[in-house]
A and B are shown apart, each in its own frame.
Chain A
Amino acid sequence: MRVALFVTCLADLMKPGVAFAAIRLLEHGGCTVEVPQTQTCCGQPAYNSGDRATALALAKKTLAEFEGFDYVVAPSGSCGGMIRAHYPELFRDDPATLKRIEGLASRTYELTDFLVNVLKLDSVPGDFRGTVTYHDSCSGLRELGVKAQPRALLATLPGVTLTEMNEAETCCGFGGTFSLKFGEVSTQLADNKCGNACATGADAIVGGDLGCLLNIEGRLRRRGDLKTQVLHIAEVLAGRTE
Chain B
Amino acid sequence: MELRSNEFKARAAANLGDAKLQKGLGLIKVKAVVNRANAVAEFGDFEALREAGKAIRNRALADLDLYLERFEREATARGAVVHWAENASEACRIVVAIARENGVKTVAKSKSMVSEEVGLNDTLIEAGVTPIETDLGEYILQINDAEPPSHIVMPVIHKTAEDVADLFHEKHGTPRKTDPAALTREAREILRPKFLSADMGVSGANFLVAETGSTLIVTNEGNGRLCTTLPRLHVALTGIEKVVPTLEDASTLLRLLPRSATGQAITNYVSVHTGPKHIDESDGPQQFHIVLVDNGRSKLLAGEMREMLRCIRCGACMNHCPVYQAVGGHAYGWVYPGPMGNILTPSYVGLENAVALPNAATMCNQCGVVCPVKIPLPDLMRKLREEQMARGLKPWPERAGLALWGWAAQQPALYALGTRIAARFMKWLGGSEKLIHRLPLAAGWTNGRDFPAPEGRTFRELYKARRK
Interface residues of B: mostly helix, strand, loop or mixed? helix
The 10 closest A-B pairs by CB, nearest first: A175-B362, A183-B444, A50-B385, A187-B448, A54-B406, A218-B449, A16-B459, A171-B364, A138-B364, A50-B389
Q: Which of B384-419 contact A (CB under 8 A)?
A: 384-390, 394, 398, 402-403, 405-406, 409-410, 412, 415, 419
Q: Which of A1-29 contact B (CB under 8 A)?
A: 7, 9, 11-17, 19-20
A174 interfacial contact with B, CB 8 Å: yes
A185–B435 touching, CB < 8 Å: no
Query: B residues within 8 A CB of A70?
Result: none
Tell me which of B8-16, B137-145, B195-203, B239-247 binds A. Answer: B8-16
**A218 vs B449: C-alpha distance when bound (angstroms):** 5
A45 interfacial contact with B, CB 8 Å: yes
Tell me which of B87-95, B267-275, B320-328 binds A. Answer: B320-328
Query: B residues within 8 A CB of A19?
Result: 459, 463
A49–B398 touching, CB < 8 Å: yes
CB-contact partner of B323 in A7, A46, A48, A185, under 8 A: A185
Q: A15-B454, A37-B460 are in contact. List 16 more A-B contacts (CB 8 A).
A: A11-B459, A40-B410, A51-B389, A89-B379, A170-B364, A174-B362, A175-B364, A178-B359, A178-B361, A183-B447, A184-B13, A185-B360, A187-B447, A189-B326, A191-B448, A222-B449
Interface residues of A: mostly helix, strand, loop or mixed? helix
Q: Which of A134-153 contact B (CB under 8 A)?
A: 138, 142-143
CB-contact partner of A218 in B379, B384, B451, B463, under 8 A: B451
B444–A12 touching, CB < 8 Å: no
**A176 vs B360: C-alpha distance when bound (angstroms):** 12
Residues of B whose CB lies within 8 Å of any CB of A are: 9, 12-13, 16, 29, 322-323, 326-327, 359-366, 368-369, 379, 382, 384-390, 394, 398, 402-403, 405-406, 409-410, 412, 415, 419, 422-423, 435, 442-445, 447-452, 454-455, 457-460, 462-464
**A190 vs B459: C-alpha distance when bound (angstroms):** 27
Chain A contact-residue range equals 35 or more
Which residue from chain A places its CB closest to the CB of B413 in the assembled complex?
Answer: A38
Which residue from chain B places its CB closest to the CB of A170 in the assembled complex?
Answer: B322
**A173 vs B361: C-alpha distance when bound (angstroms):** 9
A50–B388 touching, CB < 8 Å: yes
Q: Knowing A143-B365, A184-B16, A185-B12 touch, does A16 contact B444 (C-beta < 8 A)?
A: no
A168 interfacial contact with B, CB 8 Å: no
CB-contact partner of B409 in A40, A48, A222, under 8 A: A40
B340 to A: closest C-beta gap in Å: 17
Jot down 14 A-B pairs with beta carbons below 8 A, ordered by A.
Answer: A14-B423, A16-B457, A16-B463, A20-B462, A48-B382, A50-B389, A54-B403, A173-B362, A175-B363, A175-B364, A178-B363, A188-B326, A189-B362, A214-B451
